[in-house]
């Protein structure tokens, strides 16, 4: 079934949705994005995504083309029009179409481009892989130094995903200076006893919206939370490992570079945090 998508204020059949070849998102990856999950036809953690979107835009000196209330309304309209029960909404805002290619930013009179579309994922909350967990490989983190800005420069993460696929795995974790930064499109964690360890916030990881909620729920559930760098060897020797993102919620990680983590099955902490996350976030979905 053809989707109805959103382009610069209009709701259109996907085949009719067009963006210029001069758009800076297309030519320069000069754009930011957000992925918001949908459960029971409702938006999960909309506010978190709206706040991070505003920060990404501000860091790139890009004006926001839409207010939070209108953004929420637009997301909900896309969910309604496309009858999404479980899935995701992809939003992208670029610096727009200056009518030619130039390294210089266009002046502020050039309107930004805003597009959004839904992705229908009927088993988003219960994908089969969550029962067995991810196998990951580690690769050098060759991204730029501002991955805290959620830009559309996703070539290297995409290559990381393909390297994982070629190795018969599900994802890659990036490593910088001997320590894990994050996954291709998720934040990375290990568990030792009652302690959950994940890299501290900085410009070298995306400040995950799922991460913030999961750490809050973990603390409420009496887990200790330690925000610090960890090595691949430490991760391989941990009791458990997991990744978080709006697209996977809390995903157990059972193998790292061919080494089994813990029992090789999704660990109780990751499974519990996944349950808590889904339960709590469903309560506050809008
Ligand atoms: N990715 N780290 C990176 C590099 C990411 O791309 C993402 C999200 C995360 C987790 O952020 P959040 O919890 O806010 O989803 C961490 C999205 C889902 C994507 O690119 O599809």
Global pTM exceeds 0.85:
yes
pLDDT beyond 90 at 78: yes
Atom 2 (ligand 1): residue with closest C-alpha?
186
For the segment 212-223, the average pLDDT, to the nearest whole number, is 98
Domain 129-284: homologous superfamily in CATH: D-amino Acid Aminotransferase, subunit A, domain 2 (3.20.10.10)
Positions marked active-site: 150
From the CB of residue 155, how many other CB atoms can be counted at a distance below 10 Å?
Answer: 10
pLDDT value at position 228? 98
Task: Quote the ligand 1 centre to 48 CA distance (angstroms).
Answer: 13
- Give span(s): CATH 3.30.470.10, the chain: 4-120
pLDDT beyond 90 at 1: no
Task: Quote the ligand 1 centre to 185 CA distance (angstroms).
Answer: 4
- Give span(s): CATH 3.20.10.10, the chain: 129-284
For the segment 7-30, the average pLDDT, to the nearest whole number, is 98
Residue 92: which pLDDT band, with cuts at 50, 70 and 90? very high
CATH number of 4-120: 3.30.470.10
The tens digit of pLDDT for each residue in 226-258 reads: 999 999 999 999 999 999 999 999 999 999 999
Q: Which of 208, 211, 214 to mutate to test the pocket of ligand 1 (most atoms within 8 A of CB)?
A: 208
Atom 19 (ligand 1): residue with closest C-alpha?
185
pLDDT value at position 80? 98
Q: Which of 32, 35, 50 to mutate to test the pocket of ligand 1 (most atoms within 8 A of CB)?
A: 35
pLDDT beyond 90 at 125: yes
| Residues in contact with ligand 1 (CB, 6 Å cut-off) | 35, 182, 185-187, 206, 208-211, 244-247
Task: Quote the ligand 1 centre to 23 CA distance (angstroms).
Answer: 24
The tens digit of pLDDT for each residue in 258-270 reads: 999 999 999 999 9
pLDDT value at position 116? 98
pLDDT, mean over the chain: 98
CA distance 23 to 21: 6
Which ligand 1 atom is nearest residue 34's CA? 17
Atom 20 (ligand 1): residue with closest C-alpha?
185
Residue 82: which pLDDT band, with cuts at 50, 70 and 90? very high
pLDDT value at position 167? 98
For the segment 149-175, the average pLDDT, to the nearest whole number, is 98
pLDDT > 70: percent of the chain: 100
Which ligand 1 atom is nearest residue 33's CA? 20
pLDDT beyond 90 at 134: yes
The tens digit of pLDDT for each residue in 171-181 reads: 999 999 999 99
pLDDT value at position 33? 98
Residue 45: which pLDDT band, with cuts at 50, 70 and 90? very high
For the segment 10-31, the average pLDDT, to the nearest whole number, is 98
pLDDT value at position 38? 98
For the segment 141-152, the average pLDDT, to the nearest whole number, is 98
CA distance 271 to 7: 38
pLDDT value at position 102? 97
Task: Quote the ligand 1 centre to 69 CA distance (angstroms).
Answer: 23
List C-alpha distances in Å: 263 to 132, 260, 281. 11, 7, 29
C-beta separation of 239 from 267 below 8 A: yes
pLDDT value at position 239? 98
């Amino acid at each position: 079934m053809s989707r109805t998508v959103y382009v610069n204020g209009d709701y259109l059949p996907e085949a009719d949705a067009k963006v210029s070849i001069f758009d800076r998102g297309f030519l320069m990856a000069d754009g930011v994005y957000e992925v918001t999950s949908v459960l029971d036809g409702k938006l999960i953690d909309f506010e978190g995504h709206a706040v991070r979107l505003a920060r990404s835009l501000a860091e790139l000196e890009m004006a926001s083309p839409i207010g939070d209330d209108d953004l929420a309304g637009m997301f909900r309209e896309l969910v309604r029009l496309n009858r999404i029960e479980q899935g995701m909404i992809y939003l992208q805002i670029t610096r727009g179409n200056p009518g030619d290619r130039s390294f210089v930013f266009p002046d502020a009179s050039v309107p930004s481009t805003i597009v959004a579309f839904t992705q229908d994922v009927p088993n988003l909350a219960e994908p089969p892989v969550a029962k067995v967990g991810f196998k990951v490989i580690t690769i050098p983190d060759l991204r730029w130094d501002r991955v805290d800005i959620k830009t559309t420069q996703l070539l290297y993460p995409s290559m990381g995903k393909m390297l994982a696929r070629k190795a018969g795995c599900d994802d890659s974790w990036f490593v910088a200076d001997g320590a894990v930064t994050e996954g291709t499109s998720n934040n990375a964690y290990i568990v030792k006893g009652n302690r959950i360890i994940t890299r501290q916030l900085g410009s070298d990881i995306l400040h995950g919206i799922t991460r913030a909620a999961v750490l809050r729920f973990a603390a409420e559930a009496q887990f200790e939370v330690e925000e610090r760098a960890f090595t691949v060897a430490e991760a391989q020797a941990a009791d458990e490992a997991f990744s978080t993102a709006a697209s996977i919620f809390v995903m157990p990680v059972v193998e790292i570079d061919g080494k089994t983590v813990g029992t090789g099955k999704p660990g109780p902490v990751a499974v519990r945090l996944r349950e808590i996350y889904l339960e709590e976030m469903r309560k506050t979905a809008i």
